[in-house]
A and B are shown apart, each in its own frame.
Chain A
Amino acid sequence: MTATMDISLDEDGKLQLEEHEGVGAWPKDRRFTSVGQGAHRLEGLEKVTGKAQYTYDVRLPGQLEARVLRSPHPHARILSIDTSAAEALPGVHAVLHHGNTEPIEWYNGSFVFDPTLRMVGDEVAAVAADSGDIAEDAIRLIRVEYEVLPHVTYFEDALRPDAPHVREGGNLTDEPTVYDRGDADAALQRAHVVVDRKFTTQCAIHNSLEPHGSTASWDGDDLTLWSSTQSVFTIREQVAEALGTSEHRVRVIKHHMGGGFGAKQVAWKNDVIAPLLAKRTGRPVQLMLDREAESLAAGNRPATWQHVRFGADRDGKLVAVWADIHIDAGAYQVGGEASNVSGMYQSLYKCDNVHTEARNIYTNTGPAVAFRAPGHVEAAWAIEQTMDELARKLGLDPVEFRRRNYSEVDQLEGKPYSLPEGLSLSYDKVTEAFGWNTEGRERGAGSKRRGLGFAAHDWIAGSGSPPAYAWAKLNPDGGLDIITGTQDIGTGTRTGLGQIGAEELGIDLADVSVQLGDTALGPYSPVSSGSSTLASIGPAVRGAVNDVREQLLRLAATKMEVAADRLTIADGRISVADGGGESLSIAEVMADVAPANLMGKGVRGPNPDDVAIRTFGAQCVEVEVDTDTGEVTVLRVATAHDIGRIVNPTLVDSQIWGGITQGVGFALHEERVVDDRLGRILNANLEEYHVPTIVDIPEMTHAHVGVPDTRANITGAKGVGEPPLIPTAPAIANAIYDAVGIRVENAPISRQRMLTLLREQTTTTNGNGVTA
């Protein structure tokens, strides 16, 4: 593993990453001084004083506010649009719509302002005005005549022969994605036990507290765009293309962001409409979505239907994994990270006979987009409940059953995992921390029934990948600036990168500053998605700081008249490693080059091609089910994840608590509800869409796996943002089964749903149900 490389193209135009000799993995016996410490967030002071500037907080001289008129119909054509009254309203500066703008292609085969509307919430017109109130008044004055077209709300209905088409060519986004390994159907015939079930997961809304939005300001042909985004460079590329300008004319800035969770990794229409309005008016324009629009038109975790058939032999060996998967794409495919529901079926457990078949289906509803562990959260719901049921049928402990179907190899590519014991260690650590024991425990009394549940996961993207770059500037006073074009989406990227830089140079974190989130000032970094940011950028930062360190040691070697390779740096002082009392501070050495800086460049090296890098993990959950009310209380959760080296345990724990908390919300009460006839969302607000509150969280324990993945990259760290959410919902469902003997196939496990299932159980068991 090396830290530097060059990018070139081979004769076929394929990207080549050429390695150079650079810095290797940190040695096992290294005494870490900064990495591994629970440092406070570098931006903490800004965030607790209200000074942190989010996109919503940008205030420029003469700035106008924009609002959007959205389609009230799930499928319609605009016959006419009259904006005269809106334009005549004092304080209104511009009204844009399809009739007075050039068509700009957007999504798949549609336009930014498209006369055909395919969902409630599609953009019809946009207004820029002196204030938000005036812009809203103007929106209400726009008169639109619609031709209402037939629509389809639910993906379960969209493949029927008589279903209205969301777009030409039918309601399948593509041909079905089919994967086969061995012969799953034949293996199911021979299996000793088979579980055959149909599971569904609901559509969930990200509901980031800061909505999607942008603030645009033109200076001649140069655009500065503040965007609430997970990828400043992606926005720059997409916006430059949409506006027909060069990328160097577009500067995208994101200092702080109020949550994204996957929904902000691509440009959205606000990123283009704000610049268009700013151009038309000659004034800066801020366009932030309101809460309703966040639910309608800013992405969601798609609903899924999963028909699952798993088979095992007498010895508890998984002989067949078969899944037919339908996914609700919504009205558009917006790009970004794929929601690969099939993936975990193919990889998590060792199985020779696997068949998956997935269909993405258009409906006249808001578009799906990546949402924290896209595809995996949905798949885990079905896979992990099926595994639990198989274990019960075989009379095996669910953890033991999983251990019997363990793969040390990526079964798709045939490569060993970079840390083959990662999942096994997760099983060990989590069961120990939780006190997993399915025998002779407290089961509750009366109407309060307790149960334990277990679930595991893998995750594909936490390894990070090239290309990504970083620069380091060592200042004459010994302080260090780290500059990258990545962004901190609230996870603590600034702090983690600062710690890696401080560690590499041998200085205190207090002497490091980290600049990011600006395409004009930092070198390219990829989108912050897939839990990959630290593992993608961290190695580049190490490389850049190591570059500076080498230059510094050469300067010191001359000054101290020793060979550079005998020198070491600790606590900001340079000394001879193997004895001698002499030491110099970094500033004393830098005095020779002052006032200049030392400049370092770091490049993320390629991932090794002989191993597959994954993040594994497992969770144990205890729940209490109230059989009188249907209320499910998650009492405690223990979790363990193979996330490699922990750069900052405090920030890792925060990611884990947050992931589990979102998992509890997904399991029990989050669900977008759409009226079939009107195609409208009935709970497009935070009152009726129930995100977890402080009283909904369980007791949580993080059992560290604690093994650096030195094959993954030169920091040994892998991402943790998404993994903790993946197993939570199925672990809760398995615990409910353990408590009351009911398999909940449809998420979320709302009180109403639970109560219905409890009643059905009491009826079918002739009064001898669980409440007896």
Chain B
Amino acid sequence: MTTPDKAPASPRVPVTLRVNGSDHHLLVEPRHTLLDTLREDLRLTGTKKVCDMGNCGACTVHQDGHSVYSCLTLAVEANGSEVRTVEGLADAGELDPVQEAFIRADAFQCGFCTPGQLMSLRALLDARPDPTDEEIAKAVTGNLCRCGAYHNIMKAGRLAAEIQAERRATGNGPTAGMEAAE
């Protein structure tokens, strides 16, 4: 939320978002992106702004279960939808399999692309619990990593599927997917 001591430049419209399980009623400018809404209004800075034009994938979040570029989504377009960000991945402190896999496979260096990578892979594993290497690569091919952690991101994708399968088999922890945030 900005703290304007002068009136904002253009009229604002009401938007309701359910983000990581909490409802938010906001007034936003029609041009305001979902990315800026998350980062500026809700202070959820885990989702990153890099290109702000749909080139890099760093701003990837889930909208109603599908991964989207939040920089190419207007907040008003997301009105009424369920949004999940990297802050909503872990369930009561227990890491999502993709998060655990990223740590164990050392799938990041600077970590700035990581939230987007995680959300892309989470969406993949929701749809394809046992993905092929090709499917893993395709899921994150729009997520740029300048440190070049791709080699380990591939490993993390495979490992996340294993961890998820193990947890499901033993009935431990979140079964992953949107239900974990609800």
**What residues of chain A have their CB less than 8 Å away from a CB belonging to chain B?**
40-41, 43-54, 56-57, 59, 61-62, 89-92, 130-134, 137, 206-211, 256-259, 261, 290-291, 489-492, 650-651, 653-655, 657-662, 685-687, 691-697, 700
Q: How far is the CA of A700 from the CA of B149 in the complex (A)?
A: 12
- Residues 1-45 (chain B) with a chain A CB within 8 angstroms: 2-9, 29, 31-32, 36, 40, 43-45
Q: How far is the CA of A209 from the CA of B40 in the complex (A)?
A: 19
Q: Whole-angstrom distance from the CB of B175 to the nearest CB of chain A?
A: 19
Contact of B36 with A685 in the complex, beta carbons under 8 Å: no
Contact of B86 with A90 in the complex, beta carbons under 8 Å: no
Q: How far is the CA of A91 from the CA of B8 in the complex (A)?
A: 6
Given contacts A47-B114, A261-B146, A687-B55, could you give 14 more A-B pairs where the C-beta distance is less than 8 Å?
A: A41-B106, A47-B102, A50-B44, A50-B47, A209-B144, A256-B111, A258-B112, A259-B147, A291-B50, A490-B111, A658-B148, A662-B148, A691-B144, A693-B144
Residues from chain B with a CB closer than 8 A to the CB of A657 are 148-152
- Residues 98-149 (chain B) with a chain A CB within 8 angstroms: 99, 102-104, 106, 108-115, 118, 137, 140-149
Q: With a 10 A CB-CB cut-off, give which of B43, B104, B114, B118 has the most chain A CB atoms.
A: B114
**In the complex, the 4 A-B pairs of residues with the closest C-beta atoms, listed nearest first:** A50-B46, A258-B112, A661-B148, A490-B110
Contact of A47 with B106 in the complex, beta carbons under 8 Å: no
Q: How far is the CA of A691 from the CA of B86 in the complex (A)?
A: 24
Q: How far is the CA of A694 from the CA of B43 in the complex (A)?
A: 30
Q: How far is the CA of A61 from the CA of B112 in the complex (A)?
A: 24
Q: Whole-angstrom distance from the CB of B32 to the nearest CB of chain A?
A: 7
Q: How far is the CA of A259 from the CA of B50 in the complex (A)?
A: 12
**What residues of chain B have their CB less than 8 Å away from a CB belonging to chain A?**
2-9, 29, 31-32, 36, 40, 43-53, 55-56, 58, 85-87, 89-90, 95, 99, 102-104, 106, 108-115, 118, 137, 140-154
Q: Which residue of A lies closest to B54 (CB)?
A: A687
Residues from chain B with a CB closer than 8 A to the CB of A89 are 9
Q: Which residue of B lies closest to A689 (CB)?
A: B55
Contact of B9 with A210 in the complex, beta carbons under 8 Å: no
11 A–B pairs (Cβ distance < 8 Å), ordered by A:
A48-B89, A48-B95, A49-B86, A50-B44, A133-B32, A209-B110, A209-B145, A258-B50, A258-B110, A662-B146, A691-B146
Q: Whole-angstrom distance from the CB of B100 to the nearest CB of chain A?
A: 8
Residues from chain B with a CB closer than 8 A to the CB of A687 are 51, 53, 55
Q: How far is the CA of A48 from the CA of B86 in the complex (A)?
A: 8
Residues from chain A with a CB closer than 8 A to the CB of B104 are 40
Contact of A209 with B146 in the complex, beta carbons under 8 Å: yes
Q: How far is the CA of A134 from the CA of B2 in the complex (A)?
A: 11
Residues from chain A with a CB closer than 8 A to the CB of B86 are 48-50
Contact of A697 with B151 in the complex, beta carbons under 8 Å: yes
Q: How far is the CA of A89 from the CA of B8 in the complex (A)?
A: 9
Q: Which residue of B lies closest to A91 (CB)?
A: B6
Residues from chain A with a CB closer than 8 A to the CB of B102 are 44, 47-48
Residues from chain A with a CB closer than 8 A to the CB of B144 are 209, 686, 691, 693
Contact of B118 with A48 in the complex, beta carbons under 8 Å: yes
Q: Which residue of B lies closest to A283 (CB)?
A: B3
Residues from chain B with a CB closer than 8 A to the CB of A661 are 148, 150-151
Q: Whole-angstrom distance from the CB of A504 to the nearest CB of chain B?
A: 24
Q: How far is the CA of A261 from the CA of B4 in the complex (A)?
A: 37
Contact of A56 with B53 in the complex, beta carbons under 8 Å: no
Q: How far is the CA of A489 from the CA of B147 in the complex (A)?
A: 11
Contact of B50 with A209 in the complex, beta carbons under 8 Å: yes
Q: Which residue of B lies closest to A59 (CB)?
A: B43
Q: How far is the CA of A687 from the CA of B31 in the complex (A)?
A: 22
Residues from chain A with a CB closer than 8 A to the CB of B99 are 48-49
Q: How far is the CA of A52 from the CA of B150 in the complex (A)?
A: 20
Residues from chain A with a CB closer than 8 A to the CB of B103 are 40-41, 44-45, 48
Q: How far is the CA of A50 from the CA of B47 in the complex (A)?
A: 7
Contact of A90 with B6 in the complex, beta carbons under 8 Å: yes
Contact of A131 with B2 in the complex, beta carbons under 8 Å: yes
Q: How far is the CA of A492 from the CA of B99 in the complex (A)?
A: 18
Q: Whole-angstrom distance from the CB of A4 to the nearest CB of chain B?
A: 32
- Contact status of A91 and B110, CB under 8 A, knowing A50-B115, A658-B148: no
Contact of B109 with A658 in the complex, beta carbons under 8 Å: yes
Q: Whole-angstrom distance from the CB of A67 to the nearest CB of chain B?
A: 12
Q: How far is the CA of A211 from the CA of B143 in the complex (A)?
A: 17
Contact of B146 with A694 in the complex, beta carbons under 8 Å: no
Q: How far is the CA of A694 from the CA of B145 in the complex (A)?
A: 8
Residues from chain B with a CB closer than 8 A to the CB of A658 are 109, 147-149
Contact of B31 with A256 in the complex, beta carbons under 8 Å: no
Q: Which residue of A lies closest to B46 (CB)?
A: A50
Q: Which residue of A lies closest to B29 (CB)?
A: A133
Q: Which residue of B lies closest to A134 (CB)?
A: B9
Residues from chain B with a CB closer than 8 A to the CB of A91 are 4, 6-9
- Contact status of A208 and B85, CB under 8 A, knowing A259-B110, A490-B109: no
- Contact status of A49 and B6, CB under 8 A, knowing A662-B148, A691-B144: no
Contact of B137 with A57 in the complex, beta carbons under 8 Å: no
A492 contact from B7, B29, B109, Cβ within 8 A:
B109
Q: Which residue of B lies closest to A53 (CB)?
A: B45
Contact of A209 with B58 in the complex, beta carbons under 8 Å: yes
Q: How far is the CA of A50 from the CA of B111 in the complex (A)?
A: 9
Residues from chain A with a CB closer than 8 A to the CB of B111 are 43, 46-48, 52, 256, 258, 490
Contact of B148 with A660 in the complex, beta carbons under 8 Å: yes
Q: Whole-angstrom distance from the CB of B137 to the nearest CB of chain A?
A: 5
Residues from chain B with a CB closer than 8 A to the CB of A131 are 2, 8, 40
Q: Whole-angstrom distance from the CB of B164 to the nearest CB of chain A?
A: 15
Residues from chain A with a CB closer than 8 A to the CB of B7 are 90-91
Contact of B106 with A49 in the complex, beta carbons under 8 Å: no
Contact of B140 with A50 in the complex, beta carbons under 8 Å: no
- Contact status of A685 and B51, CB under 8 A, knowing A62-B3, A89-B9: yes
Q: Which residue of A lies closest to B139 (CB)?
A: A694
Q: How far is the CA of A650 from the CA of B95 in the complex (A)?
A: 21
Q: How far is the CA of A440 from the CA of B45 in the complex (A)?
A: 56
Q: How far is the CA of A43 from the CA of B106 in the complex (A)?
A: 11
Q: How far is the CA of A291 from the CA of B53 in the complex (A)?
A: 9
Contact of A490 with B147 in the complex, beta carbons under 8 Å: yes
Q: How far is the CA of A89 from the CA of B86 in the complex (A)?
A: 36
Contact of A659 with B148 in the complex, beta carbons under 8 Å: yes
Contact of B141 with A209 in the complex, beta carbons under 8 Å: no
B150 contact from A51, A130, A697, Cβ within 8 A:
A697
Contact of A693 with B51 in the complex, beta carbons under 8 Å: no
Q: Whole-angstrom distance from the CB of A337 to the nearest CB of chain B?
A: 19
Q: How far is the CA of A59 from the CA of B140 in the complex (A)?
A: 29
Q: With a 10 A CB-CB cut-off, give which of A44, A45, A50, A131 has the most chain B CB atoms.
A: A50
Q: Whole-angstrom distance from the CB of A496 to the nearest CB of chain B?
A: 13
Q: Which residue of A lies closest to B103 (CB)?
A: A44
Residues from chain B with a CB closer than 8 A to the CB of A489 are 110
Contact of B50 with A49 in the complex, beta carbons under 8 Å: no
Contact of B109 with A695 in the complex, beta carbons under 8 Å: no
Q: How far is the CA of A658 from the CA of B86 in the complex (A)?
A: 24
Q: How far is the CA of A49 from the CA of B176 in the complex (A)?
A: 15
- Contact status of A257 and B110, CB under 8 A, knowing A50-B86, A209-B50, A661-B151: yes
Residues from chain A with a CB closer than 8 A to the CB of B153 are 694
Contact of A56 with B9 in the complex, beta carbons under 8 Å: no
Q: Which residue of B lies closest to A258 (CB)?
A: B112
Q: How far is the CA of A291 from the CA of B146 in the complex (A)?
A: 14
Q: Whole-angstrom distance from the CB of B62 to the nearest CB of chain A?
A: 13
Q: How far is the CA of A130 from the CA of B50 in the complex (A)?
A: 21
Q: Whole-angstrom distance from the CB of A503 to the nearest CB of chain B?
A: 20
Q: Which residue of A lies closest to B138 (CB)?
A: A695
Residues from chain A with a CB closer than 8 A to the CB of B113 are 209, 258
Q: Which residue of B lies closest to A686 (CB)?
A: B55
Contact of B90 with A258 in the complex, beta carbons under 8 Å: no
Q: How far is the CA of A393 from the CA of B174 in the complex (A)?
A: 64
Q: With a 10 A CB-CB cut-off, give which of B3, B48, B51, B118 has the most chain A CB atoms.
A: B51
Q: Which residue of B lies closest to A648 (CB)?
A: B106
Contact of B118 with A130 in the complex, beta carbons under 8 Å: no
Q: How far is the CA of A92 from the CA of B106 in the complex (A)?
A: 43
Q: Whole-angstrom distance from the CB of B14 to the nearest CB of chain A?
A: 18
Contact of A56 with B45 in the complex, beta carbons under 8 Å: yes
Q: Which residue of A lies closest to B4 (CB)?
A: A130
